[in-house]
């Protein structure tokens, strides 16, 4: 697979020993000896001297075939780019690799430079000897903002193949640039395209061993992409295994379940695959409640209940009924589905581009975080939202998908879910205490065996109830504790699990910081009163900067 790794190379000028990427260093006067080094280092005064006093030409290349405009475009010196264009620099001049200044600008992703170039006649679809256009270079270097800019403002083709049949999506997948992948899929880049070696973008992501890239491609794609074989007969999962990326190979080998267990009616595995485990849990809760009434409270083999035990017993039954009601509510209620665009953006000329119309400075939705793009639903979603591969919807303030309620837990049903687990925990706890009290006070009369044998023999229903109840109690207590802790910190289960990946959960220094945490009192008050917190209420103003 070595042939896949021939990405664009920018060779430095032999007169510039610092190389083209060393723009943060301050060269001395001996380093800047001509218009090319002056352009590369952004020394405008030296450039003026070379051109206006020494008569140097801005339209001729250096000894390696590189132009001053390319060096200035690479290093994002807009004033020098403007000067070169106004003083005879060829906007479409190409070096020995047929790369133009636009190719070089794509490496660093300067939007201001690309505007100057394209507004002055640069060809947005210019290709070099490898067939790389500016969109390929931007994808190779993860310049998502630059890529989106030339697509929306200048109509650049976002899905062209290079000479080896590789699209920008292939390159972004191989390099592991998740944001670039999201943007290209959002714009309907063809995920099933195979290059000259038969590799799809998913093959490339598997070769590089990037889990996030694979995850995005799998969730946005279909089962067919998982089964495509390259010219050597390898699927993406087999390639990942061959490269030693066992975690990726495991994910891809199990990824078919994402497309099989839910919503694909032709391949659903039984009714469980369609509706989840909610009916099972509902049935278990009813059985446990009936067992409690028949084998603990009203069992003729036990002594007559006292008034206190009866009060607590029927309190547990009432809570159990309430639990069933809340279970139905959080299972059937809309968790916060975000309305999707039913049609692709690129197939209809009269459909406005949402990224073009978003006001980046004042929008309450767009914060500059490319993970807000959902390539499946074709929407720009709030920061804390996530696409659920099980429900096939984006869910606002996504917490997690719970198979036991056959629904997601999100902004609109998290309050119901929390009340459900609290009531379930409380009812099972009270029922367990009542059952233990009834069993503990049971007299053993003329029985040859032990007390335990007596209970198992005489009260098998009560013992069965207690075992089931304790299992439910432990599960409910753990879930209640976890949810209460997260509510107190105003953070979701999904955010805790993926804190390392979400840039909005890190401050400018890269340390974890939750911008939605307003303190225990306000977090809990907002949740108990409204059921959620407002996403636009953040505790530190650099959220938008951190997400760029």
457 pLDDT above the threshold of 70: no
**Helices (DSSP H) in 210-306: which residue ranges?**
211-220, 223-227, 236-242, 246-254, 256-260, 270-275, 278-292
Binned at pLDDT 50, 70 and 90, residue 352 comes out as low
Q: What is the pLDDT of residue 371?
A: 85
What's the topology of domain 10-157?
Answer: 1.25.40
Q: For residues 185 and 375, is the Cβ–Cβ distance under 8 A?
A: yes
**Sign of CA pseudo-dihedral 20, 25, 26, 31:** negative
Cα 14 from Cα 479, distance rounded (Å): 64
Write down the residue that tokens 């089962």 correspond to.
223
Region 370-393 average pLDDT: 87
Binned at pLDDT 50, 70 and 90, residue 444 comes out as low
Phi first, then psi: give them for residue 306, nearest 5 degrees: -80, 170
379 pLDDT above the threshold of 50: yes
In the chain the first and final C-alpha atoms are separated, in Å, by 33
Binned at pLDDT 50, 70 and 90, residue 546 comes out as very low
Binned at pLDDT 50, 70 and 90, residue 453 comes out as low
Q: Which two tokens stand for residue 284?
A: 């278990």
Region 385-414 average pLDDT: 92
Query: Please, which residues have CB within 8 angstroms of residue 405's CB and are 6 or more apart in sequence?
Result: 276, 278, 281, 327, 330, 331, 417, 420
Q: What is the pLDDT of residue 129?
A: 95
**Sign of CA pseudo-dihedral 237, 344, 395, 182:** positive
- Low-confidence winner among 94-98, 147-151, 198-202, 446-450 (lowest mean pLDDT): 446-450
C-alpha pair distances (Å), 110 with each of 159, 169, 254: 21, 21, 40
> Percentage of the chain surpassing pLDDT 90?
58
Average pLDDT across the chain, whole number? 84
Binned at pLDDT 50, 70 and 90, residue 378 comes out as confident
229 pLDDT above the threshold of 90: yes
Give the global pTM: 0.79
Region 27-42 average pLDDT: 81
- Low-confidence winner among 80-84, 262-266, 364-368, 425-429 (lowest mean pLDDT): 262-266
Q: What angle do CA 392, 393, 394 make, to 5 degrees?
A: 140
Cα 346 from Cα 187, distance rounded (Å): 6
345 pLDDT above the threshold of 70: no
Q: Which of 378, 387, 312, 390 lies closest to 340 in space, CA to CA? A: 378
- Low-confidence winner among 48-57, 152-161, 325-334, 482-491 (lowest mean pLDDT): 48-57
Region 116-142 average pLDDT: 95
388, 402, 408, 422: which one is catalytic? 402
47-62 pLDDT, tens digit per residue, is 999 998 888 889 899 9
Q: What is the pLDDT of residue 412?
A: 94
376 pLDDT above the threshold of 90: no
Q: For residues 181 and 173, is the Cβ–Cβ distance under 8 A?
A: yes
Q: What is the pLDDT of residue 265?
A: 39
Q: What is the pLDDT of residue 354?
A: 61
At residue 20, the 3 state secondary structure works out as coil
Region 239-250 average pLDDT: 92
Q: Which two tokens stand for residue 124?
A: 């947005």
452 pLDDT above the threshold of 80: no
The residue extents of the domains of the chain are: 10-157, 278-335+407-546, 354-402
- Low-confidence winner among 221-230, 335-344, 417-426 (lowest mean pLDDT): 335-344
527 pLDDT above the threshold of 80: yes
Annotated active-site residue 391? The verdict is no
Cα 348 from Cα 329, distance rounded (Å): 39
> Percentage of the chain surpassing pLDDT 70?
81
Q: What is the pLDDT of residue 525?
A: 93
Region 462-485 average pLDDT: 94
- Low-confidence winner among 7-21, 114-128, 225-239, 369-383 (lowest mean pLDDT): 7-21
- Low-confidence winner among 159-163, 259-263, 396-400, 502-506 (lowest mean pLDDT): 259-263
Cα 527 from Cα 515, distance rounded (Å): 16
DSSP characters over 189-236: --TT---TTS--HHHHHHHHT-HHHHHHHHHHS-HHHHH---TTS--H
Strand partners, 509: none
Binned at pLDDT 50, 70 and 90, residue 26 comes out as low
Cα 191 from Cα 200, distance rounded (Å): 7
Q: 56-61: which pairs have CB atoms within 8 A and are 24 or more residues apart?
A: 57/88, 58/84, 58/87, 58/88, 58/89, 59/88, 59/89, 59/90, 59/93, 61/93, 61/95
Q: What is the pLDDT of residue 274?
A: 55
What's the burial of 131, exposed, middle or buried (CB within 10 Å: 0-12/13-18/19+)?
middle
Binned at pLDDT 50, 70 and 90, residue 235 comes out as very high
365 pLDDT above the threshold of 80: no
At residue 408, the 3 state secondary structure works out as strand
Residue 81 belongs to what H/E stretch? helix 78-86
Residue 380 belongs to what H/E stretch? strand 379-380
Q: What is the pLDDT of residue 222?
A: 83
**Sign of CA pseudo-dihedral 233, 238, 240, 242:** negative
DSSP characters over 123-157: -TT---TT---HHHHHHHTT-HHHHHHHHHHH---
- Low-confidence winner among 123-132, 145-154, 227-236, 343-352 (lowest mean pLDDT): 343-352
């Amino acid at each position: 697979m070595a042939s896949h790794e021939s990405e664009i190379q920018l060779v430095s000028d032999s007169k510039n020993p610092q190389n083209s990427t060393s723009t943060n260093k301050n060269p001395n006067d001996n380093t800047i000896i001509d218009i090319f080094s002056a352009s590369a280092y952004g020394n405008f005064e030296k450039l003026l001297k070379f051109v206006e006093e020494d008569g140097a030409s801005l339209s001729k290349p250096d000894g390696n075939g590189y132009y001053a405009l390319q060096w200035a475009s690479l290093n994002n010196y807009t004033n020098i780019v403007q000067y070169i264009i106004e003083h005879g620099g060829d906007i479409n001049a190409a070096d020995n690799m047929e790369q133009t200044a636009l190719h070089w600008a794509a490496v660093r992703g300067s939007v201001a430079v690309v505007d100057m170039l394209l507004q002055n006649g640069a060809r947005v679809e210019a290709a070099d000897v490898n067939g790389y256009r500016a969109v390929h270079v931007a994808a190779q270097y993860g310049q998502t903002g630059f890529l989106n800019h030339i697509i929306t403002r200048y109509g650049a083709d976002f899905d062209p193949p290079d000479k080896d049949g590789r699209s920008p999506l292939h390159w972004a997948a191989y390099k592991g640039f998740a944001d670039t992948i999201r943007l290209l899929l959002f714009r309907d880049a063809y995920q099933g395209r195979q290059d000259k070696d038969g590799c799809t973008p998913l093959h490339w992501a598997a070769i590089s061993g990037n889990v996030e890239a694979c995850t995005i491609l799998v969730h946005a794609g279909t089962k067919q992409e998982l089964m495509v074989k390259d010219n050597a007969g390898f699927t993406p999962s087999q390639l990942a295994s061959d490269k030693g990326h066992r975690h990726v190979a495991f994910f891809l080998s199990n990824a078919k379940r994402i497309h099989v267990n839910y919503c694909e009616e032709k391949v659903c595995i039984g009714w469980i695959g369609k509706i989840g485990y909610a009916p099972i849990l509902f049935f278990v809760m009813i059985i446990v409640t009936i067992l409690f009434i028949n084998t603990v409270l009203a069992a003729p083999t036990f002594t007559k209940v006292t008034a206190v035990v009866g009060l607590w017993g029927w309190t547990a039954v009432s809570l159990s009924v309430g639990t069933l009601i809340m279970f139905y509510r959080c299972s059937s209620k809309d968790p916060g589905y975000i309305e999707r665009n039913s049609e692709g953006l690129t197939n209809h000329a009269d459909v406005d581009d949402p990224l073009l119309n978003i006001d980046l400075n004042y929008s309450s939705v767009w914060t500059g975080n490319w993970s807000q793009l959902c390539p499946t639903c074709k929407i720009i979603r709030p920061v804390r939202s996530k696409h659920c591969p099980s429900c096939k919807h984006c869910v606002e303030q996504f917490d997690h998908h719970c198979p036991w309620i056959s629904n997601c837990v999100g902004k609109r049903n998290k309050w119901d879910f929390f009340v459900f687990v609290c009531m379930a925990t409380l009812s099972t706890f009270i029922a367990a205490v009542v059952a233990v009290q009834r069993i503990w006070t049971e007299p053993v009369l003329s029985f040859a065996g032990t007390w335990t044998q007596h209970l198992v023999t005489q009260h098998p229903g009560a013992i069965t109830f207690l075992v089931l109840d304790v299992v439910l109690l432990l599960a409910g207590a753990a879930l209640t504790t976890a949810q209460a802790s997260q509510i107190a910190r105003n953070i979701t289960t999904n955010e805790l699990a993926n804190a390392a990946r979400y840039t909005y959960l890190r401050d400018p220094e890269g340390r974890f910081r939750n911008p939605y945490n307003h303190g225990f009192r306000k977090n809990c008050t907002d949740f108990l009163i409204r059921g959620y917190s407002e996403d636009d209420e953040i505790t530190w103003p650099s959220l938008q900067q951190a997400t760029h």
